[in-house]
Structure 1
C-alpha cells in the first residue's frame, strides 16, 4: 500500500489522539470529512493502522516498576525457540519484546507491581525454561520518554 501526504497527515493526527473526530482531522489536513473518513477506513482495512488502544498509566494500574530484561538463549532447536517466543508473547508483564542481535538474543520491557512480583515472574519464566541460558535485568529509575509513535 502506498500512502500520500494526506494519509501521512491523518496518521500523525491519529497517533496524537485516536478520539479526534473525522471533522477535526479533515480540517487539520485539508480534506472533506467524508474523504477523511474513507481514508481512515482504508488505512485501518489495509493494516497501516495495526491497533488502536488506550495508554494506561502504570502507577494507576498498580504496576509502577519497569525493568529492561535481556535474555540469552542456549543452543536449542527451532521448536523450543518458537515455544519460548509464544511464552514471551502471552505474559502480561511483558509490554514489549524484541529478538535482537549482539550479546543478547531477546530484550523485553517488563512492568510489575514491585520487586517481589518481579522475582516471582523470573522464577516462572526464566528458571523453568530450558531455552533460557541467562538473563540480565536493568531497573528503570526514571521514564524519560515512553511512546510508540512512528515518525511520519
Structure 2
C-alpha cells in the first residue's frame, strides 16, 4: 500500500460516493488509476464494506444502548454461541469480544424501553450463559463513524 492508496482510503471513508473524477483531483492520479486502485482495495479486503450511516431518530430507533456483558462461563463453545446470537440479532449494531471487566461490549438500537426489555429477556436472561450485564443509555451521539486514520 503506497501513499496514493492511503489517500484514497482516507477520502472514501468520509464519502463513499466520491467519483473517480473527484478522487483523481484529490490524490493526483488519473481517474482510471483511482478506479483500479479502489477495485483492488475492495478485492483484497482492505475495504470490508461500504455503508450508509442512518439517523436513529429518523428511522424510529430512538434508544441507543452500550452494554457490557459478562459470561457465566467463558468456554469456547459458550463464547461462540453468544457471538452467533449477537451477530444474528438485528438490534445489535456492533459487538466486540473484549478484555477487561466485561467479556463483550455491545452497541444496540431499539425503538423504546419495552423493546430493550424484550431484547434483554431473549438474549441475556434466557439461559444463554450470561452472568451479568451493565447497560449505558446514550444521551447524545457526539461522534459516530468507522473512519480509521490511514497515515503516510
Question: TM class, shorter-chain normalised?
Answer: over 0.9
TM-score (norm 2): 0.95
| Structure 2 equivalent of residue 15 of structure 1 | 13
* Structure number with higher relative contact order (C-alpha < 8 Å, ≥ 6 residues apart): 2
Matches within 5 A, 1:46-125: 46-125=44-123
TM-score (norm 1): 0.95
Of the three residues 34, 37, 40, the one matched with 2:35 is 37
Render the CA deviation track for 1:90-135: whole Å, top value 9, x for unaligned: 1111111111111111010111101111011101111113310111
Give the distance between the partners of 1:38 and 1:76, measured in 2 at CA. Answer: 45
Give structure 1 stretches of 5+ with no counterpart.
Answer: none
Of the three residues 115, 124, 127, the one matched with 2:125 is 127
Give the distance between the partners of 2:74 and 2:35, measured in 1 at CA. Answer: 49
Aligned-residue RMSD, C-alpha: 1.0
Render the CA deviation track for 1:48-70: whole Å, top value 9, x for unaligned: 10001111111111101111100
SS of corresponding position for 2:114 = helix
Give structure 2 stretches of 5+ with no counterpart.
Answer: none
Render the CA deviation track for 1:70-91: whole Å, top value 9, x for unaligned: 0010125322221111001111
Change (3 A) 1:129 1:61: farther
